[in-house]
A and B are shown apart, each in its own frame.
Chain A
Amino acid sequence: MTTPRRAALATWLGGVIVHALLVVALVAVGVFLIVRLVPGDPAQMVLGLKARPEQIADMHHRLGLDQPLWRQFASFLGTLVTTGDTGESIAYHVSSRALVMQRMPVSLWLIGCSAALVVAISLPLAMTAALHKGGWIDQLVRVVPTVTLGMPEFWVGLVLILVFAVTLKVFPVGGTQPGIDGMLYSMALPSLVIALAQTPFIVRSLRTRILDVLGADFVTTLRAAGLPERAIRRHVLRNSLLPALQLYGMKVSFLMGGTLVVEQVFGLKGVGTLLFSAITARDFPLIQAVAMYCALGVVAVSVAVEIAGGLIDHRVRGRAAASRGGAR
Chain B
Amino acid sequence: MRKQFKAIRAAVAAVAAAAAALSLAACSQSGGRTTDGTVSGARTTFTYARAASVTSMNLWTEITSNNAFAIDKVFEPLVSFDTHGRIIDWLAKSHTISKDGLTYTFTLRDGLKFSDGTDVTAADAVFSIERHQAEKDAALPLTADIASVTAPDEHTVEIRLNSAYTPLLAELANFSNGIVPKDFGGKSESAFFEHPVGTGPFVVSKWDKSGDLTFTKNEHYWQKGKPGISKLVYKTVEDGTQAVNQLKTGEVDGIESPALENLDELENGADTKVETTGSWVTHTFFLNTADEHLSDVHVRRALAYALDRGDVTKAVSFGHAVTAKTVLPKGIEYSTQDSIKPVDDDLAKAKKELAQSKYPDGFEAKILLASGNNAYAQAAQLLQSAAKKIGVTLDIDSVDIATFRSRFKAYDYQIMINSAQADYPDADSIISFQADPDGFSKSYWTSYSNPEVTKELREAQVTPDGDARADLYAKIQQTLADDVPYIPLYSPQIVKAVRKDVTGLEVLPNDSVRFQDVKLG
Interface residue ranges, A against B (CB under 8 Å): 38-41, 44-45, 47-53, 55, 58, 89, 91-94, 99, 102-103, 113, 116-117, 119-120, 123, 158, 161-162, 165-166, 169-175, 177, 181-182, 184-185, 187-188, 234-235, 237-238, 241, 264-267, 269, 273-274, 276-277, 280-282
In the complex, what's the smallest C-beta–C-beta distance from B502 to chain A, in angstroms? 18
Q: Does B403 contact A38, Cβ atoms closer than 8 Å?
A: yes
Q: Does A175 contact B251, Cβ atoms closer than 8 Å?
A: yes
Q: Does A165 contact B245, Cβ atoms closer than 8 Å?
A: yes
Nearest A residue (CB) for B28: A181
Q: Does B249 contact A173, Cβ atoms closer than 8 Å?
A: yes
Q: Does A173 contact B246, Cβ atoms closer than 8 Å?
A: yes
- Cβ contact of B11, chosen from A119, A166, A172, A281, cutoff 8 A: A119
Q: Does B210 contact A165, Cβ atoms closer than 8 Å?
A: no
Q: Chain A residues near B24 (CB, 8 Å)? A: 181
Tally of A-B residue pairs with Cβ under 8 A?
A: 168
Q: Does B238 contact A264, Cβ atoms closer than 8 Å?
A: yes
Bound Cα distance A162, B12 (Å): 30
Q: Does A181 contact B29, Cβ atoms closer than 8 Å?
A: yes
Q: How large is the interface on B (under 10, 10 to 19, 20 to 34, 35 or more residues)?
A: 35 or more
Bound Cα distance A92, B56 (Å): 8
Q: Does A92 contact B55, Cβ atoms closer than 8 Å?
A: yes
Q: Report which residue of A185, A188, A235 has the largest number of chain B beta carbons within 10 angstroms of its beta carbon.
A: A185
Q: Is B402 an interface residue (CB 8 A)?
A: yes
Q: Chain B residues near A102 (CB, 8 Å)? A: 208, 210
Q: Report which residue of B4, B237, B405 has the largest number of chain A beta carbons within 10 angstroms of its beta carbon.
A: B405
In the complex, what's the smallest C-beta–C-beta distance from A275 to chain B, in angstroms? 12
Q: Does A173 contact B34, Cβ atoms closer than 8 Å?
A: no
In the complex, what's the smallest C-beta–C-beta distance from B389 to chain A, in angstroms? 33
Q: Does A266 contact B242, Cβ atoms closer than 8 Å?
A: yes
Bound Cα distance A161, B52 (Å): 22
Q: Does B402 contact A45, Cβ atoms closer than 8 Å?
A: yes
Bound Cα distance A57, B129 (Å): 25
Give per-residue flags for B1-42: 1 if the beta carbon is below 8 A from chain A beta carbons, else 0.
100110010011011101101101110111000110000000
Give per-residue flags for B119-149: 1 if the beta carbon is below 8 A from chain A beta carbons, else 0.
0000000000000000011011000000000
Q: Does B239 contact A184, Cβ atoms closer than 8 Å?
A: no
Nearest B residue (CB) for A112: B18
- Cβ contact of B29, chosen from A162, A182, A241, cutoff 8 A: A182
Q: Does B25 contact A116, Cβ atoms closer than 8 Å?
A: no
Q: Chain B residues near A117 (CB, 8 Å)? A: 15, 19
Q: Does A274 contact B34, Cβ atoms closer than 8 Å?
A: no
Q: Does A173 contact B1, Cβ atoms closer than 8 Å?
A: no
Bound Cα distance A92, B21 (Å): 36
Q: Does B400 contact A267, Cβ atoms closer than 8 Å?
A: no
In the complex, what's the smallest C-beta–C-beta distance from A113 to chain B, in angstroms? 8
Nearest A residue (CB) for B372: A280
Q: Does A181 contact B5, Cβ atoms closer than 8 Å?
A: no
In the complex, what's the smallest C-beta–C-beta distance from A138 to chain B, in angstroms? 21
Q: Chain A residues near B241 (CB, 8 Å)? A: 158, 265
Q: Does B238 contact A277, Cβ atoms closer than 8 Å?
A: yes
Bound Cα distance A74, B441 (Å): 35
Q: Does B249 contact A120, Cβ atoms closer than 8 Å?
A: no
Q: Is B64 an interface residue (CB 8 A)?
A: yes
Q: Chain B residues near A181 (CB, 8 Å)? A: 21, 24-25, 28-29
Give per-residue flags for B385-402: 1 if the beta carbon is below 8 A from chain A beta carbons, else 0.
000000000000001111
Q: Does A94 contact B63, Cβ atoms closer than 8 Å?
A: no
Q: Is B211 an interface residue (CB 8 A)?
A: yes
Nearest A residue (CB) for B439: A52
* 28 A-B pairs in the complex with CB atoms less than 8 angstroms apart: A38-B403, A39-B406, A40-B400, A40-B402, A40-B403, A45-B402, A48-B64, A55-B136, A91-B55, A94-B210, A116-B14, A119-B15, A123-B12, A166-B248, A170-B26, A171-B26, A172-B249, A173-B242, A177-B29, A181-B24, A182-B34, A184-B21, A188-B26, A267-B237, A267-B239, A267-B246, A273-B238, A276-B238
Bound Cα distance A107, B251 (Å): 21
Q: Chain A residues near B64 (CB, 8 Å)? A: 48
B38-71 contacts to A, CB under 8 A, are: 52-53, 55-56, 63-64
Q: Does A174 contact B246, Cβ atoms closer than 8 Å?
A: yes
Q: Chain A residues near B86 (CB, 8 Å)? A: none
Q: Does B245 contact A238, Cβ atoms closer than 8 Å?
A: no
Q: Does B209 contact A93, Cβ atoms closer than 8 Å?
A: yes
Bound Cα distance A187, B21 (Å): 12
Bound Cα distance A51, B136 (Å): 11
Q: Does A44 contact B409, Cβ atoms closer than 8 Å?
A: yes
